[in-house]
Homo-oligomer: A and B are copies of this chain.
């Protein structure tokens, strides 16, 4: 088998020199395009990723650009998609597969948990699976049932998986390229409600390594932790808090597994208070791990318990009710106001 690994000559290089406004969907598309151009082992398949370009258009134009041996529509079966990706990776390919929505990754659960996550360890590192499983995730898009699940806790609690979630177009581009280059399987979660958010970008852009959290706004009184869609919520809360003379530091987690203890603990030791925001239900949600490990590692630096501002412990609601479910900046500020501040 011959494989060509050309060193990165991104297709976007020439085209984009001055910053161009780019959506997250566009940035992801560019990342796929550039990585496919750089490495012919990268293939893209899944449901409707070919001529349609995916239901969110993240794979738009890729089949036209790279042909149907690099990008194709598979039969409609998620276990089949992930299961065949394992075989393709075993043969030296680097498959990037798409699950259409969080809830439609569940048929692939066994392949992901029992094989994708365990293969490297099973074989003492002799078999690597450089697979990227892209999952458009979370809600706030007015989707009917099954279209707004937040599945991150399932993946993040599974040893052997790397789980990342960008919150901006720049990170989307940089982290997806890094995920494809990773020799480990990556669950790459794309917050649907941010797909059409824009930022001016010159490609290729390289942001921080995908396993590091980032302080996206500095502050002194509270560490507010978000990821994916809730980074925006956290930033909005921080802006609003400014008016009340409350200085909030916002951390974008970026990597759910591994967890960047270093960055988070440093911030918490500075502010002595932390809160985490996510859309998923609270009970057993990812925020539980965030709260537990911050507390374990910084207990004597904490002035108050770590707060979780999350969805309720109910199934994701129907479109007309999601506004009541989703954590808002107001809800964040109310929760923070509820701390026993005088005890600090």
Residue positions of A touching B, CB distance < 8 A? 79, 103, 106-107, 109-110, 113-114, 117-118, 121-122, 145-146, 153-154, 156-160, 257, 259, 281, 283-289, 291-293, 295-296, 299-300, 302, 304-308, 312-315, 340, 343
Contacts and interface: CB of A to CB of B under 8 A. Distances in A.
Given A153-B157, A157-B284, A283-B159, A305 B295 contact: yes
A30 to B, nearest CB: 32
A156 B284 contact: yes
A311 to B, nearest CB: 9
Contacts of A304: 299
Given A292-B308, A295-B306, A314 B159 contact: yes
Nearest to A256: B284
Nearest to A121: B315
A156 B295 CA distance: 22
Contacts of A153: 153, 157, 284
B286 A284 contact: yes
A287 B292 contact: yes
Contact of A288 (B110, B145, B288): B288
Nearest to A296: B305
A159 B154 CA distance: 13
Copies in the complex: 2
A103 B109 contact: no
Contacts of A286: 284
Contacts of A107: 79, 109-110
A160 B315 CA distance: 7
A114 B151 CA distance: 12
A117 B313 CA distance: 12
Given A153-B284, A287-B292, 14 more contacts: A103-B113, A103-B114, A106-B113, A107-B110, A109-B110, A121-B315, A157-B281, A157-B284, A159-B281, A288-B289, A291-B292, A292-B295, A295-B305, A299-B304
A283 to B, nearest CB: 6
A305 B299 contact: yes
3 closest cross-chain pairs (CB), A and B: A157-B284, A106-B110, A109-B109
Contacts of A106: 109-110, 113-114
A105 to B, nearest CB: 9
B122 A145 contact: yes
Nearest to A340: B300
Nearest to A302: B299
Count chain B CB atoms within 10 A of each CB in A107, A109, A308 and give the residue with the most.
A109
Nearest to A110: B106
Contact of A315 (B117, B281, B295, B315): B117
A253 to B, nearest CB: 13
A148 to B, nearest CB: 12
A312 B159 CA distance: 9
Contacts of A285: 157
23 contacts: A79-B107, A103-B110, A103-B114, A106-B110, A106-B114, A107-B110, A118-B315, A153-B284, A156-B283, A157-B281, A157-B283, A159-B313, A160-B314, A284-B288, A287-B292, A288-B289, A292-B308, A295-B305, A296-B306, A299-B302, A299-B305, A300-B340, A300-B343
